[in-house]
Amino acid sequence: MKRVGVIGDPVEHSLSPHMHNAAFGELGIDAFYELWPTPLPGLGDRVASLRLPDVLGANVTVPHKQAVMPFLDRVTETAQRIGAVNTVIPSPEGLIGDNTDAHGFQRSIEETFGPVQIDSAVVLGAGGASRAAIVALRMMGVENIDIANRTDARAAALAQEFAAEMIPWSEVVAESFPDAELLINATSLGWHDEMPVLMDDLKRLPHRAIVVDLTYRETPLLRAAADCGRRGLDGLGMLVHQGARAFELWTGMQAPVGIMQESVRAEQARRG
């Protein structure tokens, strides 16, 4: 039996084992997805273990997405642009680090809303999730990207790197919302059931605008968007599609996305 796992600290909350083990079962693949809790001092040894012949691959989660990179033989261009690795693929050339988050974001948008033409987007936040979202936006051909963060300096650095526009947090609603066709909350506020902006602020968005919260469930922001007549999307689709892409990189087989999505939703319901 082949083994796959998620490397991080902690990892007990991960939904990935449910998603991938359902996919392995659906396709009759003799593999099992495990939790691999790994404190930072043990990261090198953990990565070295991925070279064993029974290892099919690995995911990497916080806080190791950047720290893992020096232990790998090659890092893809996408992972370099995002500045983080979330998937490791053993190959004859060694361990390859990739990042499937941008792919997951793009696919979740396409799956939910179909082909959409987006010229202007606003990203709230300047962390790792923001970087993946911005790379996805560039892949989607979005030309105008405004970035706002509660710490302006971090937003400015990110904007400079990706040829985007930094908007001060206090001014983003007035400056950016009226023209934004896509608003992405990539801050951690959704996990704490907090709003990054006021409900009345959302009314400044065009009626055709899409509001995305990268949290894996409905949030106050998404409920407020619906109340304002704007379309909304949580981060669960991104999670599933980034996992599906990793699955395909490990196995060379088409991922059963529907089965993976059902298993994640079932586990979320079980956890309440």
Please check the confidence at residue 272 and state whether its pLDDT lies above 90: no
CA dist 69 and 81 (Å) reads: 13
Which amino acid is located at 270 in the chain? R
pLDDT in tens, 71-129: 999 999 999 999 999 999 999 999 999 999 999 999 999 999 998 899 999 999 999 99
pLDDT digits (tens, 9 = 90+) for 131-174: 999 999 999 999 999 999 999 999 999 999 999 999 999 999 99
> For the chain, first and last CA: distance in Å?
32
Range 170-195 average pLDDT: 94
- Alpha helices by DSSP H, listed for the chain, are 16-27, 43-49, 77-82, 101-113, 128-139, 152-161, 172-176, 199-202, 220-227, 236-251, 257-271
How many CB atoms are closer than 10 A to CB 191?
13
DSSP secondary structure code for residue 245 in this structure: H
Alpha-carbon gap, residue 203 to 10, rounded angstroms: 38
Which pLDDT score, from 0 to 100, does residue 131 have? 96
State yes or no: is 65 an active-site residue. Answer: yes
Percent of the chain with pLDDT strictly greater than 70:
100
SS3 of residue 233 by DSSP: strand
**Confidence (pLDDT) at 120:** 98
Task: Give, as one character, the DSSP assignment of residue 70.
Answer: G
Task: Give the C-alpha separation, 84 to 69, whole Å.
Answer: 7
Over 90: is that where the pLDDT of 190 sits? no
pTM beyond 0.85, yes or no? yes
Rounded distance between C-alpha atoms, residue 211 and residue 228, angstroms: 11
Catalytic residue among 18, 64, 65, 103: 65
pLDDT of residue 192: 85
Give the pLDDT mean for 186-208.
93
84 within 8 A of 99, measured Cβ to Cβ: yes
Q: Give the confidence band of 12 by pLDDT, cuts at 50, 70, 90.
A: very high
247/62 Cα distance (integer angstroms): 19
Residue 28's pLDDT band, with cuts at 50, 70 and 90, is very high
